[in-house]
Structure 1
Amino acid sequence: MALYLVRHGRPILDPAVPASAWVLDPEHEYLVEELAAQAPWPDDAVWYSSPEPKAARTAFLLAKREVPMVEDLREHDRGGS
């Protein structure tokens, strides 16, 4: 069994909102789709995502389906915005 950890794609940086609320930049989704096309993981891989919008969208693009979210799968909270 192999474990693949994938970081989210490029988000839209918005200093007015916390990083945990940033969304994936649609102009760069093609990079995630290119990774999906080269997928080293099997078709029946089990997927999970953090609830952060940028991560959930990345997981959706990679898995080509909705992915269960796990509340504890979050980036480190550095405080501030």
Structure 2
Amino acid sequence: MKMCIACGMPMTAIADYPLCDISKNYCKHCAHADGSMHTFDERLAILADFMVNKQGIDSEIAKQTAYILLKKLPAWKRKI
């Protein structure tokens, strides 16, 4: 089973991949409509927004937490 390099999501079905392209190493949630991967800043904003809206976390704490979580993932280790 592959894990998304950008968010850590397990990718267990073809539908989990962007445009159902199993050669990608990131999931459909980390991709633009054209199948290209989100940037770090886009992923950071999306994850922080999720934490605020779905988990009720303060926005500044959500941004800090999202940053800490993302920097541990393969896609972002070199970029930070």
Same fold by TM-score, threshold 0.5 exceeded?
Answer: no
TM normalised by structure 2 equals 0.28
Of structures 1 and 2, the one with the larger relative CO (CA 8 A, separation 6+) is: 1
TM normalised by structure 1 equals 0.27
